[in-house]
Structures are given as structure tokens and as C-alpha cells.
Amino acid sequence: MTATWYSDRIKEELSRKIAWVIAQKLRDPRIPPVVTVTDLTVAPDMSNATVYVSVFGEEKTVKGALIALNRAAPFIQKVVSHSLSVRRFPKLHFRADSSLAHGQRINELLEEVKDDLEQA
């Protein structure tokens, strides 16, 4: 129970601090102004962490932002590790979180079905 609480706490703190660094410290034009950290998974040994981000825009914008974030990962790790006291700081890997787009597509499909039923 305590280990789960601790890992949840670390994940929450990492997510918050990573989001702050992205918003306040990165100046790469490929990263749009609105990038949201939606989830974070950390390996049990704290060697790696996958940071899921939501980037609004076309696929080209999302791909460019992911490239820029992965290139900036060592900088983000350095900044965040100085403000967080953990024995081992994970190597960060950024991935697109498609759950928001997926949810939006489901909503669009439901609206289409609703419209079709109303017209029938």
C-alpha cells in the first residue's frame, strides 16, 4: 500500500514539474503553446518514464512537437531532477496521447447516429 502511494505521488509530482518545464523553459518553435501532460508511466526500477502528452494541431504539428520534446528530454530531466529528491531519476520518453482525439471521434460518430435517428 505504501509503495503504491509513493509511486503515485512521484508520478504526480513528475507530471506537474515536467508540464511546468515544457510551458516555461522550452523555447522550441516546434512545440505549440498548449501541450498537456496527460499521463506518465514509470518503470518499477525508475530507469525510464514515458510521458504522454496531448498536442493540439495537425499530425505534422504533433510529430514536430514530439521530436522537439524527445530532443529536449535531457534538459527537462536535468531541470526536474534538481527540484525533486529521488534516488534515481528516470530517462524521459515522450509519446502522443491519442485518447482525446479518440474520444472526440467517438463523440462525432454518436452525433452522426443521433442525427440519422432524428431524420428517420
- 72: domain CATH number is 3.30.300.20
pLDDT at 102: 63
How many C-beta atoms surround the C-beta of residue 63 within 10 A? 14
Note down the domain range covering 46: 2-119
pLDDT of 83 higher than 90: no
Q: Compute the distance between CA of residue 46 and CA of residue 63 in angstroms, rounded to an integer.
A: 26
Digit-coded pLDDT (tens) for 49-76: 999 999 988 889 999 999 999 999 999 9
Residue 3 has pLDDT above 80, yes or no: no
pLDDT in tens, 5-52: 667 888 899 999 999 999 999 999 999 998 999 999 988 888 999 999
Q: In Å, how far are 25, 46, 90 from 87, measured between CA atoms?
A: 24, 9, 10
Q: Exposure of 80 by Cβ count < 10 A (0-12 exposed, 13-18 middle, 19+ buried)?
A: buried
Distance CA 113, CA 75 (A): 47
Residue pointed to by grid coordinates 504526480? 12
pTM, full prediction: 0.78
Distance (Å, rounded) from C-alpha 88 to C-alpha 65? Answer: 27
Name the domain count of the chain: 1
Point out the least confidently predicted range of 15-19, 37-41, 88-92, 112-116. 112-116
